[in-house]
Amino acid sequence: MSTEFIIALIKANIVLGVLLTNTILLIWFERKLVAGMQSRVGPDRAGPFGILQTVADAIKLMLKEQILPLKADRAMYLLAPIVALVPSFLIFMIIPLGPNLNIEFGGENYIVEFVGADLNVGVLYFLALSSIAVYSVVLAGWSSGSKYPLLGGVRASAQMISYEAAMGLALVPVILYSGSLSLVDIVDSQSGNLSSSIPILNSIVSFIPKWNVFPQFVAFGIFFIAAVAEVNRAPFDLVEAEQELVGGFHTEYSGFRFAMFFLAEYINMFNMCAITATFFLGGWLGPTFENFLPPFLSSIMPIIWLGVKTFSLLFIFVWIRATLPRLRYDQLMELGWKRLIPASLVWLILSAVVLGLREFGLPWS
Partner 1 sequence: MFELLIFFLPASILIIGALIVVFAKNPVHNAMGLVMTLVSLAIIYITLNATFVAMVQMLVYAGAVMTLFLFVIMMIGVDKKEQTSDSIKGQTFLVSGVFLILISLLGYVAVNSEFSWNLWFPAVEYVVEGTPQLIAGTLFTTWIFPFEIISILLIVATAAAIALAYDLKIRNKDA
Stretch that binds partner 1, among 72-80, 90-98, 104-112, 183-191 (CB under 8 A): 72-80
227-286 positions binding partner 1, by CB under 8 A: none
Give residue 337's identity as a one-letter amino acid code. Answer: W
- Which of the 8 DSSP states describes residue 282? -
**Burial of residue 199 (number of CB atoms within 10 Å: 0-12, 13-18, 19+):** exposed
Q: Does 153 bind partner 1 (CB under 8 A)?
A: yes
CB nearer partner 1, residue 85 or residue 318: 85
Out of 24, 88, 164, 231, which residue is the one contacting partner 1 (CB under 8 A)?
A: 164
* Shortest distance (Å) from residue 279 CB to partner 1: 17
Question: Cβ distance 325 to 296 under 8 Å?
Answer: no
HEC sequence for 230-265: HCCCCCCCHHHCHHHHCCHHHCCCCHHHHHHHHHHH
Least distance from partner 1 to the Cβ atom of residue 32, Å: 36
Minimal distance, residue 226 CB to partner 1, in Å: 15
CA distance linking residue 33 with residue 230, whole number of Å: 22
Shortest separation between residue 355's beta carbon and partner 1, angstroms: 15
Q: Which stretch binds partner 1 (CB under 8 A): 107-115, 150-158, 279-287, 347-355?
A: 150-158
Nearest residue (CB) to partner 1, 125 versus 236: 125
The correct pick among 154, 320, 322, 355 for binding partner 1 (CB under 8 A) is 154
Measure CA of the first residue to CA of the last residue in the chain; give whole Å.
Answer: 60
51 or 86: whose CB is closer to partner 1? Answer: 86
* β partners of residue 111: 102
List residues bridging with 209 in a β-sheet: 193
* Binding flags for partner 1, 84-123, as an x/- string (CB under 8 A): -----------------------------------xxx--
Q: Which residue in 286, 138, 279, 306 sits closest to 222, CA to CA?
A: 279
* The binder of partner 1 chosen from 25, 52, 78, 157 (CB under 8 A): 157
CB of 168 to partner 1, least distance (A): 8
Nearest to 99, CA basis, from 20, 235, 202, 191: 191
- Rounded Cα gap, residues 251 and 90, in angstroms: 26
What string of DSSP letters covers 60-109?
A: HHHHS-----TTS-HHHHHHHHHHHHHHHHHHHTTS--S--EEEEETTEE
Per-residue x/- marks for partner 1, 291-330, CB under 8 A? Answer: ----------------------------------------
Q: Which is nearer to partner 1, 40 or 74 (CB)?
A: 74
Binding residues for partner 1 (CB under 8 A): 2, 5, 73, 75-76, 79, 119-121, 124-125, 127-129, 131-132, 134-135, 138-139, 142-143, 150, 153-154, 157-158, 160-161, 164, 181
